[in-house]
Amino acid sequence: MYFSPLLTLLLTASAWIVAVFVYRLLFHPLRKFPGPWLAAATDCYAGYFNLVKGGQLLSHIEKLHLNYGPVVRVGPNTLHFSEPQAFTDIYTSGTTFKKSEQLYDDIFLTQEACHAFVDPQKARTRRIMLNPLFSRRAILKLRHAVQEKVDRLISRIKDYPHGGPVDLASAFRSLTLEIITEYCFATSYNSLEHPTFRHPLNLAVEQNVKNFWFTNYFTRLMRLSLATPIWIVKLIDPGFLVFLHMRQDLEGRIERYLEDDSALHAVEHETVFHHLILPENKDGSINRDLRPSKKSLLEEAFSLVGAGSDTVGNTCSTGAFFALNNPAICGRLKEELRQAWPDEDSAIDLDVLEQLPYLTAFIKESLRFSHGVVTPLPRVAVSLFLRGTLRFLRIPKLSHLIDGWVLGSKELETYLVPFSKGPRMCLGINLAWCELYLILGTFFRKLDLNLYDTTIDDFKTFKELFVPVWEGKRLRVTVRAGQRV
């Protein structure tokens, strides 16, 4: 019997697919764990919810846990856990589980950045280099750079034509974008000066978030877009142009510093490049052999922009809505700030704000409601079940009242992990806390606002695009007449 080459190829491919499915369903080491058979057979199951349904896998996984229990097989080689103790067992300090190459190599276009290093030693070395810029001491030294941007936002909102409506969601993201670029690079892209806060760079960052799953499944196409000549990008996607311009600006800075690192001495204040281009030994001497490549420097810079501009902005938007939507919360917050900061035109120290119990509780609750990173961050743990290290506890019913934080609930503190935990936790945690105290503290001390066409329905559901993207209308507010200039 004669088979054409094409038919032979099709039969061979079909047989291979069947063999893979049979292995994954009947002989795979994870075969005994419950879950949909299609999820066990192919990654296309997750791809359908991620790409076709547009960031709905996380909500679907929640339903799977209700049906199958605390451990569910959500992919051929992937288990998902719902019990909180599993989070501690997998992510806590002392564990040796590596990050998944499938996520960090396939999705992120910044593999040479600290957050994306799969090798724990590479990540540890880079964090040692970056930690001085994000230490508590460095934050206190550069807090004025944060406060200046916050004050500019307050001024812009007070001066807003006719009192609004102000797109506060965009305003917060413009602010956090300005803060991270000023803090890390001593530069500004003037996103706070845009008339409606919808600066093209802000829109590009938002679009980058929305493209998260597209980037995952079409990584090579996204890499090609970064290498495409600007004149072609201008014809195909003008909105992406501003992103490339920022890339060119950062690349130009890096090239100047690499050619002559003494140029760093002329920079207004300490930046991330001081620590990466002039890395120090333990004795304080410069060790240029530790200097990352130009590619790594650029990807680290882009990583910081992305990580520093979205999550804090989202937390501020979420917290501001729930406070403005609840007069009791808003009133108590304003009263505490008024007592601690009687003259709003004077400066206030960060440590004063950090000592305010209700403001602190409000920020923690804002972090809890805004969720931070929501896409599961997989770890490679081949021998996890053989060693029996996972233990399971009942998930406590968390309080929705801010007073739970004020009272110092240990249960709440245990399960608040917006910056992850362990050796790969968020590098910028100190900067993020500084921003949240200064932004929300100043915001509720100096502004009186009303919600505009925004309700609780706008904050009920979100799409899982690595970070949560609320599916409702954007947060908008109006400025009370007495505050307009």
107 with 175, same domain: the answer is: yes
The helix/strand/coil state of 79 is strand
289 with 396, same domain: the answer is: yes
* pLDDT at residue 387 is higher than 60: no
Tell me if 467 sits within 8 A of 211, measured CB to CB: no
Rg (CA), the chain: 24
- Of the residues 60, 82, 104, which one is the last residue of a structural domain? 82
Residue 4 lies in a domain: no
Tell me if 376 sits within 8 A of 86, measured CB to CB: no
412 with 346, same domain: the answer is: yes
| Interval 69-115: pLDDT, tens | 999 999 998 899 988 888 888 887 666 778 887 777 656 667 788 88
283 with 362, same domain: the answer is: yes
* Residues 171-204 as b or e (16 or more Cβ within 10 Å = b): bbbbbbbbbbbbbbbbeebebbebeebbbbbbbb
Q: What percent of the chain has pLDDT over 70?
A: 87
* pLDDT at residue 241 is higher than 90: no
pTM of the predicted protein model: 0.89
| Interval 442-453: pLDDT, tens | 999 999 999 999
- By C-alpha distance, which of 302, 306, 310, 305 is closest to 172? 310
- Of the residues 82, 109, 137, which one is the last residue of a structural domain? 82
Run of H or E including 73:
strand 71-75
Q: Which amino acid is at 399?
A: S
241 with 171, same domain: the answer is: yes
Which residue shows structure tokens 């066990």?
40
309 with 340, same domain: the answer is: yes
Total domains in the fold of the chain: 2
* pLDDT at residue 434 is higher than 60: yes
Tell me if 91 sits within 8 A of 421, measured CB to CB: yes
Q: Does 184 carry a binding-site annotation?
A: no
- Of the residues 52, 82, 112, which one is the last residue of a structural domain? 82
- Domain carrying residue 43: 16-82
DSSP 8-state symbol, 100: P
| Interval 210-227: pLDDT, tens | 888 887 787 777 777 666
Per-residue model confidence (pLDDT) at position 2:
55
Per-residue model confidence (pLDDT) at position 482:
56
| Domain CATH code at residue 213 | 1.10.630.10
193 with 55, same domain: the answer is: no
